[in-house]
Each structure stands twice: as structure tokens, then as C-alpha cells.
Structure 1
Amino acid sequence: MIGRLRGIILEKQPPQVLLETNGVGYEMQLPMTCFYALPAIGQEIIIFTHFVIREDAQLLFGFIHRQERLLFRELIKVNGVGPKLALAILSGMSAQQFVSAVERQEINALIKLPGVGKKTAERLVVEMKDRFKVLSSDLFAPHVSGEMCNNNIEKEFKMNDPEKEAVAALVTLGYKPQEASRMVHKVASADADCEMLIRAALRVAL
């Protein structure tokens, strides 16, 4: 199991990151709430990871804080929630926002997340609420920040078409292409980069 990586960010293309560690490049997907917190390309960071092995693929998911990984691991234990849906949930809400929504039984807020229907939202509330009684202290513990240092190894990666990149990222997170395009178009502006568009689109969706 790969549980933690320390390395240099080589590429950032939401929601995917390429991290070089000891000469090896690891591709991983991060929830957008974690992606926003990444330093610039060429800088060092510690990322907590969860490794998934399937018959057709080996997938690596990354998180800035242990609490986010903990919640991800609990989410994929819920019936009907796989890694992709868990990633989408934590992209639309921070770990603490999700915990709050579950504890307050805010079904309507959960339904707005991609791939979460009413039955799934109700299941999340029922199954996760009991787990939070045990996990809440861990989830709300102060974050232990990963170590970061400035290394000007590469210039900041620039998207050729921020809107197309943002739409592609939202589709990866579970939104339908037409819905993703509509969300990005609604918040598009001339000076917005890909990350800004995704952040605004997810905020509008909720």
C-alpha cells in the first residue's frame, strides 16, 4: 500500500497531478478541495495517498490532509459509493462541510453533488452519521500541513484553453458533458484560469 509520497509537482491538470519522487513519476487524482491547496509546479509537497487495485487499472488518490483521506476511505465503504463518486463528493464539499451536511441531514445539499441521487444521499446520512460518532474527533482535529518548499524546477503550467480544461475536469468528477459545459459557461470570464473556473462552477452547483 502506498500511503504517503513526498516529491516535486511536475504537472497539474485538474483533478490529476504528476508527482516525482526519487525519479519516479506518480499520477494521482485529488478532490478539487485538495487540488486548490497545491503549491505551484516545481515545489515540493507531502501528499497522503490511497491506492486502489482493480482488474483493469491501478489508481492512486491523493489528499493534502490525513482527515480527507480518512473520510474518503469511509465513503468508499458505503454501499454504492466507489472511489470516483467519493472523489466527486469531496470535490464539491470539504471534509468538514460534508460532515456538517450529514449531521444536519441536509439531503438537498448532498443531492446537488454529481452522481448522488436521493437514495444515495439518504444512505450516506444513515451510514455515515453513526461512523462520525467515532471519527469526528479525527476529522475535526487540527490539520497537519504537508511540508512544502520552493524549488523553481519548472515554470508554472499554463492551460491552453481554461474553459475546455475546466469542463474536462468536471466530467472526470462525474458531471455529464452538457451539464459541465453549462456550469463553466455560467461562470466564465476572460481572466479566469482553469482552477478558478472549476471552483466557481462547483460553488454555483451547490
Structure 2
Amino acid sequence: MIGRLAGTLLEKNPPQVLLDVHGVGYEIDVPMSTFYNLPAGGEKVTLLTHFAVREDGHFLYGFATEAERFAFRQLLKISGIGARTALSVLSGLSVNDLAQAIARQEVGRLVKVPGIGKKTAERLLLELKGKLAEALPTAALAVEDSQHDILNALLALGYNDREAAAAMKPLPAGISTSEGIRQALKLLSKA
């Protein structure tokens, strides 16, 4: 029903934002991956949305990308996964990371997400197998082995997913594992 909203960002109170669209204020729940990429208050913003009607109210969920919204909708199709849990998954893992965890059947990555236990993680892996990878562009999902190794090395050194992802962002594609780890650690030491 409401697929996209464009307006002025009035408030940011994680995980909710208030978006003014021609004088109407929409309260929108967003995953933290979207929240972190929002501009400052008073700036223009466009969000793709998912509108849900339940007995206890009408709810809007917003996403920066179509991939996030698609993943959210796929998560909602799983029995026992509600909107809050789906937002939690997308807040703890990027869509690429989620697709990779599913493709590689990595329960360990999913159980790191708050609110996801081992049984829920196993159900996610089973029910999403093949669904995210087929629907999302393969270029977005193709992470070279060296990048996967760099990420695992940073996680093993005690950095969290967000810190590791931030350190890997400026790395050039095709960088070797050892050079990537060296440059990522250099960036993390400056932060």
C-alpha cells in the first residue's frame, strides 16, 4: 500500500525515525543498517517501506535499499519470525552477510544477532536457503575469498561486525588477504 516515502527527517530515535512528508509525520521503524546511513535531522531522505496491518495497529518499516526490504519480507514469511526479529536480523547483519551466512550454512553468524537462538538460526538457514541468493544481484553477493578471510581475521581479533565492516569498506576490491588485514588494522588503530 505504502511502498516509498520521501520527505524531511525530523527525528531519529533508534530504531524509529519520524519522517515529515508534506506535513504528515510518519513513524517508521528501520533496521540499524539503514539508521546508520541516514543523514542528520532536517535533511531530505527517501525510504522504501513495508506497510503492515495487524489487530493492534498499522506499522511502517523503512529501508534504504530494495535488497533490505526484500530480505525483510523473506524473513517475515518464516513461521515464528515477526517484524521485530526481522529488523534485529537486518540490524545485526547486512543483506550480503545474511545471504553469505545462509549460502555457507553458518549458524554461528546468525546466533550473534540478539534474539536469535540456535534453533531459530537453523530454521532461518533451512527456510531461506536459495531464496536470498537467487533474488539478489550476484554482484552484491559475490565477496571474494580474500574479503571473507579478512572479515574472519578481524572478527577473530575481537572486533565486532560493524567495526570490521567499516574497516573493510575503503579496501580496494581484489586486495590480497594479508594486505587487506594490514590496511584494515591500520584503519582500526586510528579510530
- TM-score where L is the length of structure 2: 0.71
Where 1:45 maps in the other structure, the secondary structure is strand
Q: Where do 5+ consecutive residues of structure 2 fail to align?
A: 142-161, 167-191
What percent identity do the matched residue pairs reach?
49
**Higher-Rg member (1/2):** 2
Query: Counterpart in 1 of 2:101?
Result: 101
Q: Where do 5+ consecutive residues of structure 1 fail to align?
A: 142-198
Query: Counterpart in 2 of 1:76?
Result: 76
Is 2:34–2:64's contact at 8 Å kept on the other side of the alignment? yes
Is 2:7–2:22's contact at 8 Å kept on the other side of the alignment? yes
Instruction: Give the aligned length.
Output: 144
Query: Counterpart in 2 of 1:88?
Result: 88
Query: Counterpart in 2 of 1:122?
Result: 122
Query: Counterpart in 2 of 1:112?
Result: 112
- Provide the C-alpha distance between the structure 1 equivalents of 2:102 and 2:12, rounded to a whole number of angstroms: 31
Query: Counterpart in 1 of 2:35?
Result: 35
- Provide the C-alpha distance between the structure 2 equivalents of 1:55 and 1:36, rounded to a whole number of angstroms: 31
Per the TM alignment, residue 140 of structure 1 is displaced from its structure 2 partner at its CA by 2.6
- Paired amino acid for 2:96: Q
- Provide the C-alpha distance between the structure 2 equivalents of 1:134 and 1:106, rounded to a whole number of angstroms: 18
Q: What are the equivalent positions in structure 2 for 1:1-206 lying under 5 Å apart?
A: 1-137=1-137, 140=140
- Paired amino acid for 2:52: V
Per the TM alignment, residue 127 of structure 1 is displaced from its structure 2 partner at its CA by 1.1
- Provide the C-alpha distance between the structure 1 equivalents of 2:139 and 2:69, rounded to a whole number of angstroms: 10
- Provide the C-alpha distance between the structure 2 equivalents of 1:133 and 1:95, rounded to a whole number of angstroms: 10
- Paired amino acid for 1:111: V
Q: Runs of at least 4 residues of structure 1 off by over 6 A?
A: none
- Provide the C-alpha distance between the structure 2 equivalents of 1:38 and 1:20, rounded to a whole number of angstroms: 14
Per the TM alignment, residue 59 of structure 1 is displaced from its structure 2 partner at its CA by 0.8
Change (3 A) 1:139 1:20: farther
State the structure with bigger RCO (CA 8 A, min sep 6), 1 or 2.
1
- Paired amino acid for 1:86: A
- Paired amino acid for 1:31: P
Please provide the CA RMSD for this pair.
1.9
Where 1:116 maps in the other structure, the secondary structure is coil
Change (3 A) 1:27 1:80: same
